[in-house]
Structure 1
Amino acid sequence: MRGQAHTLEAIVASLVLLTGLIFALQMTAVTPLSASTSSQHIENQQQSVSEGVLATAAERAALKPALLYWNNSSQKYHNESGTGLGKYASTPPNNTFGTMLERVFDERGIAYNVYFRYRDGGSQSRIIYLYNGRPSDNAVAASYTVTLMDGDHLYDSDGTQNETTLSEATGFPIPDRGANVYNTVRVEVVSWRI
């Protein structure tokens, strides 16, 4: 009799445990977009790649020329997409920084936007330099700060410096903030998986 009671008690306990487990699984939905260790690893990897691109571009002196890749006569960036928004759409600019972005992100199937953030009076403003769409919820951002000086020269479409200095530029989208230092710009890359 005692053996039967223990067996019955074990069966009821296992049913209660199984019911609780089924209920818990019903309450949590696992989708492809759910946060997991692997998606966090991918985001960390993208963060490192973005930081690496910016650091390499700065080391190779490609960030400042990207900021100064300005056509003074048309008052827009060289070969920009013509959207009227002062940006390149989908295709990076034909300069060293643009080539680096294309090589690193496009070949890996990673979407990205590039913004130039700067001080304008008392507020923070930004220029969309390159736009590939609205970032997803798991997008990551990396940035690098560049100081523009009044005596920095603009760049022609072939990547060579021209005679026009930044203080002489017309229509340049980033405003002059004072003597010698033109402005400080944070180049920001936001990237996400497609």
Structure 2
Amino acid sequence: MIPGVQAILKDNTGQMYTLEGAATAIMIVFLVVFIVQASPLTPLTSSASHQQVESQIETSGSDLLIVLDYVPEGETNSPLKKALVDWTGVEFDGQSSTYPNSVYDLTSVFNRALLADGTAYNLVVAYQNDNKKWDSRAMLWNGRPSDNAVLVSRKVVIHDEDAISASFIPDLSPNSSFYNILDVRLTLWRM
């Protein structure tokens, strides 16, 4: 044999490096498998971006209720209060077009502001009954909210002179101008 070839055949360092590389690769594969199994990720796993979307939806809903509760100059009631006063207690499913005018106007604002960017909503009105306990009825209903829905609310005070159409809402103080307080609850979620 050639003397240089014999020296190469007797040198085991190449085999050691190969064995070390194979062992390291196996350890890395086991580490990756362990990490993937230890942290399950599903489509419903909450993430920072998902929480940011919920926060954005909540802010939009809150801002929308604030704007709708603003009384324009020359008017006596806000668009939100007009719709509540004209509402007869009937639940409007989906995107029906058979609302009273002020409720239709309110629905149009919600549709333009929310449905355009893929946000669904339900509007529920809570009121105090004769026993001073809270009851509620759906005003605008677009389906069952997802698990990631957010809820924003706004209180609206109704007075005797508002002549409310919903006869099921009691007058809590017949001897004063105060009629009842309504808690408008807007539930929002991504479609």
Which TM-score band applies after superposition, normalised by the shorter structure? 0.7 to 0.9
The answer to whether residue 35 in structure 2 is matched with residue 24 in structure 1 is yes
Match of 2:167 among 159, 166, 172: 172
Three-state SS of the structure 2 residue aligned to 1:68 is helix
Cα deviation for residue 6 of structure 1 reads 9.4
The answer to whether residue 153 in structure 2 is matched with residue 151 in structure 1 is no
The runs of 5 or more residues in structure 1 that have no matched partner are: 71-75, 78-85, 153-164
Which residue identity is paired with 2:183? R
Which residue identity is paired with 2:93? A
The runs of 5 or more residues in structure 2 that have no matched partner are: 1-11, 72-77
Distance, in Å, in 2 between the alignment partners of 1:172 and 1:113 is: 22
Match of 2:93 among 79, 89, 95: 89
Q: What percent identity do the matched residue pairs reach?
A: 30
The answer to whether residue 111 in structure 2 is matched with residue 68 in structure 1 is no
| More strand per residue | 1
Partner in structure 1 of residue 179 of structure 2: 182
| More helix per residue | 2
Cα deviation for residue 12 of structure 1 reads 4.6
Which residue identity is paired with 1:137? D
**TM-score, length of structure 2 as denominator length:** 0.75
Distance, in Å, in 2 between the alignment partners of 1:15 and 1:64 is: 68
Q: CA RMSD in A?
A: 2.5
User: What is the aligned length?
Assistant: 166
Which structure is richer in relative contact order (CA contacts within 8 A, separation 6 or more)?
Answer: 1
Match of 1:141 among 151, 162, 167: 151
Cα deviation for residue 109 of structure 1 reads 2.0
**TM-score, length of structure 1 as denominator length:** 0.74
Cα deviation for residue 97 of structure 1 reads 1.8
Which entry has the higher C-alpha Rg, 1 or 2? 2
Distance, in Å, in 1 between the alignment partners of 2:15 and 2:171 is: 89
